[in-house]
């Protein structure tokens, strides 16, 4: 089964004919580690499915790179505001490890909304992304960097293993030195 169809099954069951319409609009791309998939100021006109790989979404704040979140395979992604409103993106998307990505043009993604099961998939995916976004915001406002780091270890240990300390620190909103202290304290406590 195509990996994107398998992913869609978590949200909606497309018939064979419906899937063929979706599949006909997909383009397979391979991206090397370090590639900028989207740069601030560009208009994002693609819906992506990350089959294999790891990505970082980030913005610049006072000329400093600040990680918004990470995306692990398998998952769908885009720059939501830019994609939906056809406006320049305020974020950047960076490939953190060699990645296999399926792409679909915005016009094709919108044309497929005439298929009820595709529309259901998109609606559920948007709701899930909104939930994750709210969760990240709430945690940033209500939890310390240390609490957020411990939660990452418990719930997203693969991100800890894949992302650089610099990127994790910027995601937590702290300096790399502070992250080192948090890590040291965590490992000392976990050994006792």
Domain assignment of residue 104, given as a range: 3-113
42 found inside a domain: yes
102 found inside a domain: yes
- pLDDT tens, 42-96? 999 999 999 999 999 999 988 899 999 999 999 999 999 999 999 999 999 999 9
- The listed range with the strongest mean pLDDT (17-31, 61-75, 128-142, 148-162) is 17-31
> Model's pTM, two decimal places?
0.92
83 found inside a domain: yes
Q: What integer best gives the mean pLDDT of the chain?
A: 95
Given a cut of 80, whether residue 192 has pLDDT beyond it is no
Of 26, 33, 29, 32, the closest CA to residue 8 belongs to 26
* Torsion of the alpha carbons at 88, 91, 94 and 99, rounded to the nearest 10: -70
* pLDDT > 90 in the chain, percent: 88
Token pair recorded at residue 2: 């195509």
105 found inside a domain: yes
109 found inside a domain: yes
Given a cut of 80, whether residue 38 has pLDDT beyond it is yes
28 found inside a domain: yes
> What CATH number should be reported for the domain holding residue 88?
2.60.120.10
101 found inside a domain: yes
d(CA 69, CA 74): 15
Domains identified in the chain, total number: 1
Residue-wise DSSP of 144-189 = -HHHHHHHHHHH-HHHHHHS-HHHHHHHHTS-HHHHHHHHHHHHHH
Burial 99-110 (b: 16+ CB within 10 A, else e): bbbbbbebebbe
């Amino acid at each position: 089964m195509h990996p994107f169809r398998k992913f869609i099954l978590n949200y909606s069951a497309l018939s064979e004919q419906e899937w063929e319409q979706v599949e006909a609009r997909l383009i397979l791309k391979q991206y090397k580690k370090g590639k900028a998939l989207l740069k601030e100021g560009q208009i994002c006109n693609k819906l992506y499915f990350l089959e294999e790989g790891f990505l970082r979404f980030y913005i610049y704040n006072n000329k400093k790179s600040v990680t918004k979140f990470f995306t692990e395979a398998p998952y769908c992604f885009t720059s939501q505001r830019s994609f939906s409103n056809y406006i320049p993106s305020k974020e950047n998307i960076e490939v953190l490890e060699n990645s296999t990505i399926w792409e679909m043009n915005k016009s094709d993604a919108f044309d497929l909304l005439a298929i009820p099961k595709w529309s259901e998939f998109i609606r559920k995916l948007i709701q899930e992304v909104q939930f994750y976004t709210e969760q990240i915001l709430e945690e940033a406002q209500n939890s310390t960097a240390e609490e957020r780091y411990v939660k990452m270890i418990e719930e997203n240990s693969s991100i800890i293993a894949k992302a650089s300390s610099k990127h994790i620190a910027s995601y937590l909103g702290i300096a790399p030195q502070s992250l080192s202290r948090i890590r040291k304290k965590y490992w000392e406590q976990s050994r006792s």
